[in-house]
Amino acid sequence: MAYRSGRHFLQVPGPTNIPDRVLRALSAPTMDHRGPEFARLTGEVLGGLRRVFRCSGPVLVYPSSGTGAWEAALVNTLSPGDRVLMFETGHFATLWCGVARRLGLEVEFVPGDWRHGVDPEVVRWRLSRDRRGEIKAVAVVHNETSTGCTSRIAEIREAIDGAGHPALFLVDVISSLGSIDYRHDEWGVDVAVGCSQKGLLLPPGLGLNALGERALEASREARLPRSYWDWRPMLESNAGGYFPYTPPTNLLYGLREALGMLFEEGLENVFARHRRHAEATRRAVRAWGLEVLCLEPEEYSASLTAVLMPEGHDADELRRVVLEEFNMSLGAGLGKLAGRVFRIGHLGDLGDLMLVGALSGVEMGLSLAGVPHCRGGVAAAMEYLTGTVRAGGERVLVSGG
């Protein structure tokens, strides 16, 4: 293939761009994973992850994708035949449901239209009807990566408590951790499932479980088969700074550097930056005359924006044109949204000029692909970005709407 000048624009909602500082950290020589220096590294990264999850309990790191972390959350807390309440908010919620069913769990999968998050009142209503406590867990995707809809985790916790139900609360934070405000302890989450390749600024390869006390108690009685995913050997080894098997040493180097970058910027500033870029993107979409897939402003994602194509036009053709002509990757529509939407990722290591460049690629691609639209989306985004910068480059904190 001929050389293409300039950097590739990776605007999928994960894996995301890896900062140069993290790339350099990943390239350091591998150390002895049984030595004292490694134990110090383990302590640093696990402590940093607790700050990002905002949890006081342990965080476990598996060499895995987020799918493995899904499985770990289920097999350590539940038993064969247990009932789990899950919600069809999009493609990844559907995949997690499939994992649960293959493990032998009985899933009640509440249908959804893929344009909304989980309705807390539906949670309250369903749990209130479960007077015998047959539902053992409620599992929710915080930010649905296929749709750009974010569920209101604090309100769902209130709904569970309002129903007086003892179900465990499991939350997928794969595309929200490090990008959208998440508060594990404050929101009463029992297990959170995360991964490395999105807001944590790393390549794929690390699956995460953040654990609450109720989850640890449940794990002592859970009877689903577990070996690799078993929390117990991980907890025992981590206590001394080690892992029960060979750890992904160089990814942990990168994680330490990435956590340092997040804390240097400040988590609140990180979240505000993501909200600001999301709002600029939505203003561009509306100026083009296109439609944001998510229908509820209070559920808009700060990590990505999914855009509906006009009737009769193929999102994958637009993505092909943008990739071939402008060396930029946009997210595909997944599952029942295949060909109907494209997704603009605006999470991770992203600055204003990077976002404007990405939106310019979309606007030019819409013209070349013959997609009906109005001009001026990039201008609308730039006007918003300019208006939310104070003198000296200080960012103005913005809300999610």
Task: Look up the pTM and report it.
Answer: 0.96
Distance CA 214, CA 282 (A): 39
Q: Are residues 339 and 233 in the same domain?
A: no
**Which pLDDT tens digit goes with each residue over 162-183?**
999 999 999 999 999 999 999 9
- CATH value at residue 270: 3.90.1150.10
Residues of the chain with pLDDT under 70: 390-401
274 in any annotated domain: yes
pLDDT score for 395: 57
Supply the pLDDT for residue 2: 83
Concatenate the DSSP letters of all residues of 297-324 into one string: GGGB-SSEEEEEPPTT--HHHHHHHHHH
Position 390 scores a pLDDT of: 63
Q: Do 244 and 338 belong to one domain? A: no
Structural domain harbouring 180: 20-263
Whose tokens are 């009685």? That residue is 221
Scanning 305-393, the segments in alpha helix (DSSP H) are 315-326, 352-368, 377-387
- Choose the final residue of a domain: 236, 263, 290: 263
The pLDDT, as a whole number, for residue 14 is 97
The string of pLDDT tens digits covering residues 249-296 is 999 999 999 999 999 999 999 999 999 999 999 999 999 999 999 999
| 286 and 235 within one domain | no
**Kind of pairing between the strands at 143-144 and 191-195:** unpaired
Are the CB atoms for 215 and 55 separated by under 8 Å? no
- 301 and 248 both lie in a single domain: no
Residues 110, 209, single domain; the answer is yes
For the chain, percent helix, then strand, then coil, each to nearest 5? 40, 15, 40
Q: How many domains does the chain have?
A: 2
Handedness of CA 10, 11, 16, 18 (dihedral sign): positive
Taken in order 125, 150, 291, 341, is the CA torsion positive or negative?
A: negative
129 known member of a binding site:
no
In a domain, 289, yes or no: yes
Residue 400 confidence (pLDDT): 42
In a domain, 348, yes or no: yes
In a domain? residue 400 = no
pLDDT of amino acid 399: 47
* 161 and 28 both lie in a single domain: yes
8 assigned to some structural domain: no
Assess whether 280 and 312 both reside in one domain: yes
On whether both 144 and 278 belong to a single domain, the answer is: no
* Boundary-marking domain end, from 206, 239, 263: 263
Name the phi and psi angles at 37, rounded to 5. Answer: -65, -40
Encoded amino acid at 307, one letter: V
Alpha helices in 220-351 (DSSP H): 231-238, 249-265, 267-287, 315-326
Residues 102 and 198 in one domain: yes
Residues 256 and 141 in one domain: yes
User: Would you say residue 270 lies in a domain?
Assistant: yes
The answer to whether residues 211 and 290 belong to one domain is no
Q: 398 in a domain, yes or no?
A: no
- Say yes or no: 173 and 56 in one domain: yes
Write the CATH number for 190.
3.40.640.10
Is 14 inside a domain boundary?
no
Q: Among 263, 294, 311, which residue terminates a domain?
A: 263
